[in-house]
Chain A
Amino acid sequence: MSRIVVHGLEKSYGDARVLERVSVTAEPGEFLSLVGASGCGKSTFLRILLGQEQQSGGVVVIGDRPIVPEPTPQRGIVFQRYSVFPHLTALQNLLLVEDFRSGGPFGRVFGARRRRARQEAETMLERVGLAHARDLYPASLSGGMQQRLAIAQTLLGRPQILLLDEPFGALDPGIRVEMHELLTELWNEHGMTVVMVTHDIGEAFKLGTRVLVFDKVRHDPQFPSAYGATITYDLKLDRKGRASARDVAEVAAIVGTTRLDSAIATTAS
Chain B
Amino acid sequence: MLARGIGAVQAEAGANTASPPPSVPKTRLRLINARVSRGGAVLLGTLPFAAVAVAYLSASAQRLAVNANDKLLPSPAQMWSAFFDLATVPDKRSGDLILWADTYASLVRLLAGVGLATLTALLLGIAIGFIPRVRAFLLPFVTVVCVIPPLALLPILFIALGLGETAKITLIAIGVAPVMVRDIANRVMELPPELIAKAQTLGGNSWTMVLRLVLPQTMPRLITCVRLALGPAWLFLIAAEAIASTEGLGYRIFLVRRYLSMDVILPYVVWITLLAVATDWLLARLSYMVSPWAHPGSGK
Contact = CB atoms under 8 A, between A and B. Distances in A.
A77 B198 CA distance: 6
Contact of B202 (A82, A86, A101): A101
B143 to A, nearest CB: 27
Nearest to B204: A100
A108 B217 CA distance: 17
B294 interface: yes
A9 to B, nearest CB: 19
Interface residues of A, number: 38
Contact of A100 (B192, B203, B217): B203
Give chain B's interface secondary structure class. Answer: helix
B228 interface: no
Interface string B191-211: 011110111111111011101
A159 interface: yes
B201 A103 contact: no
Interface stretch (A113-121, A122-130, A132-140): A132-140
A139 to B, nearest CB: 5
A107 B300 contact: no
B216 A157 contact: no
A262 B175 CA distance: 62
A72 B291 contact: no
Interface residues of B, number: 27
B114 to A, nearest CB: 24
A50 B197 contact: yes
Contacts of B209: 107
A107 B197 contact: no
A65 interface: no
B300 A82 contact: no
A103 B294 contact: no
Given A52-B193, A82-B195, A139-B296, A76 B291 contact: no
A121 to B, nearest CB: 13
B111 interface: no
A105 B206 CA distance: 11
Given A87-B293, A136-B300, A157 B208 contact: no
Given A77-B198, A99-B208, A157-B203, 20 more contacts: A71-B200, A71-B201, A73-B201, A73-B203, A81-B194, A82-B194, A85-B213, A87-B217, A87-B293, A97-B202, A99-B212, A100-B203, A100-B212, A101-B203, A105-B207, A107-B207, A107-B211, A137-B292, A137-B296, A139-B293
- Closest CB pairs A-B (n = 8): A107-B208, A71-B200, A82-B194, A107-B211, A82-B192, A100-B203, A100-B204, A101-B203
